[in-house]
């Protein structure tokens, strides 16, 4: 099934179209759903929680946009308390829960990569190749960001493994990514700050995106984008990796984004 380029937007915690998930679980704004990705923003008041659960058909990427979340596992496992621009990766089959622990409502972005499952079999050791990992984005001024050259700005690495690659790209006005495509990944992009202009082949204009607006670019789609605001563009990328024969998963990159949690 071929997917299309799709735009999406998170209107904020007062979103009138948010789904009610019940008195203990809060509300959810649906951003994107297709056969590769599910993305939502869940909004919870203090004390509301998901309850302990797991997924056997998806890897979960979570990033706090506002408020604070406490992530827990089985028994007395404590994965950590996360604040704004902090996140965690939850591989499929991992049992976990989270709750809102701040007076300010929790707003937490979810980007789940769907994985094929035959039936409802239990996890096998060979199925679990990724670890629970925490990550954080310290902001545009952080010296740890990689220089991508005078035309492309900088990039802060958040996470990479066999399932996902996540970065925040930082660009000044006029900087951007030229027309290109990927054959091994689907791209999920959300603007955190500034403005981006997305374009495709033959003058295609996908749109100008501001804060909390995003776009999904399926693999093989030729696209580019540039910063069009005086304020630096900070744009979150969460790419879902897909196997390509003869092309290995990304390895050997600088450092090891994400901190393993045991």
* Collapsed DSSP state (helix, strand, coil) of residue 121: coil
Q: What percent of the chain has pLDDT over 90?
A: 84
Q: State which CATH number among 2.40.160.20, 2.60.120.10, 3.40.50.300, 3.40.50.150 fits the domain covering 146-250.
A: 2.60.120.10
Homologous superfamily assigned to 6-115+130-136: Jelly Rolls (2.60.120.10)
Residue in 219, 94, 216, 89 with CA at minimum distance from that of residue 161: 89
End-to-end CA distance of the chain: 37
Which pLDDT value is given to residue 251?
42
**DSSP assignment letter at 1:** -
Rounded to an integer, the average pLDDT of 8-12 is 98
The yes-or-no verdict on residue 203 having pLDDT over 70 is yes
Q: How confident is the model at residue 52 (pLDDT cuts 50, 70, 90)?
A: very high
Between 247 and 259, where is the model more confident?
Answer: 259
The yes-or-no verdict on residue 211 having pLDDT over 70 is yes
For 92-128, how does the pLDDT look when each residue is reduced to its tens digit (9 = 90+)? 999 999 999 999 999 999 999 998 765 544 444 445 5
Question: Mean pLDDT: which of 42-56, 117-131, 247-261 is highest?
Answer: 42-56
Which pLDDT value is given to residue 252?
38
**What is the residue extent of each domain of the chain?**
6-115+130-136, 146-250
* Collapsed DSSP state (helix, strand, coil) of residue 7: strand
d(CA 225, CA 206) in angstroms, rounded, equals: 9
The yes-or-no verdict on residue 255 having pLDDT over 80 is no
Asked whether the domain spanning 146-250 has the same topology as the one spanning 6-115+130-136, the reply is yes
């Amino acid at each position: 099934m071929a997917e299309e380029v799709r735009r999406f937007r998170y209107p904020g915690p007062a979103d009138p179209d948010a789904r009610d998930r019940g008195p203990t679980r809060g509300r959810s704004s649906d951003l994107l759903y297709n056969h590769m990705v599910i993305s939502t923003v869940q909004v919870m008041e203090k004390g509301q929680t998901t309850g302990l659960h797991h997924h056997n058909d998806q890897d979960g990427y979570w990033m706090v946009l506002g408020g604070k979340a406490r992530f827990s596992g089985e028994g007395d496992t404590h994965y950590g308390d996360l604040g704004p621009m902090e996140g965690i990766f939850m591989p499929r089959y991992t049992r976990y829960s989270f709750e809102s622990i701040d007076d300010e409502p929790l707003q937490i972005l979810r980007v789940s990569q769907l994985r094929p499952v035959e039936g409802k079999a239990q996890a096998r050791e060979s199925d679990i190749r990724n670890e629970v990992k925490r990550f954080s984005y310290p902001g545009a001024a952080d010296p740890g960001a990689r220089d991508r050259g005078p035309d492309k700005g900088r990039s802060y690495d958040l996470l990479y493994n066999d399932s996902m690659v996540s970065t925040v790209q930082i660009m000044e006005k006029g900087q951007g990514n030229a027309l290109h495509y990927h054959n091994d990944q689907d791209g999920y992009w959300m603007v955190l700050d500034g403005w981006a202009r997305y374009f495709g082949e033959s003058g295609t204009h996908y749109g100008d995106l501001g804060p909390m607006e995003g776009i999904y670019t399926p693999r093989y789609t030729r696209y580019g984008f540039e910063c069009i605001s005086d304020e630096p563009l900070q744009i979150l990328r969460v790419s879902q990796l897909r196997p390509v024969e003869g092309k290995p998963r990304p390895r050997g990159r600088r450092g090891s984004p994400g901190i393993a949690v045991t």
